[in-house]
Amino acid sequence: MSNHPNRGPKGPFVAPAGWALHTISPQELRELIAAAGITQSEAARRCHAGERTMRDWVLGARRMPISASECLALSLMWPGQSRLVHPTVALCERWVRPQFAGLLISLCR
């Protein structure tokens, strides 16, 4: 299918230089969900995925896309009543693009 965004002459998405983002491992995902004190169902809702998809990511049956892990991380670290995980530099560098990381850290000081 040449009209698919990850196929064709350009190939799959490659992160620009300076991004330290990587695919989150099932173990890291379980640790993030536990640290936030939420269920897999709530984690799925926060990254706009289905419960079965989240279960597959947690079990390692499917790889979680970077965009979904970034969405989940942002929803857990964003300032306000819904923040469940305090954003640290290490977390932001690993799961959030530099543009968002700087914003998150500056908002939480």
| pTM above threshold 0.85 | no
- CATH assignment of 26-107? 1.10.260
| Residue position matching structure tokens 């977390």 | 91
Backbone angles phi, psi at 78, to 5 degrees: -65, 135
pLDDT cut 90: percent of the chain above it: 27
- CA atoms of 37 and 27, how far apart (whole Å): 15
How do residues 15-59 score in pLDDT, each as one tens digit?
556 555 677 889 989 988 998 889 999 999 999 999 999 999 999
The CA angle 87-29-14, to the nearest 5 degrees, is: 85
Enumerate the domain spans of the chain. Answer: 26-107
How do residues 65-103 score in pLDDT, each as one tens digit?
888 988 888 888 876 767 777 767 777 777 777 777 777
- CA atoms of 72 and 7, how far apart (whole Å): 25
CA-based nearest residue to 35, from 88, 108, 97 = 88
DSSP 59-106: HTSSPPPHHHHHHHHHHHHSSSTT--S---HHHHHHHS-HHHHHHHHH
pLDDT at position 16 is 57
pLDDT at position 15 is 53
Contacts of 73 (CB under 8 A, 6+ apart): 32, 85, 91, 95, 96
pLDDT at position 7 is 55
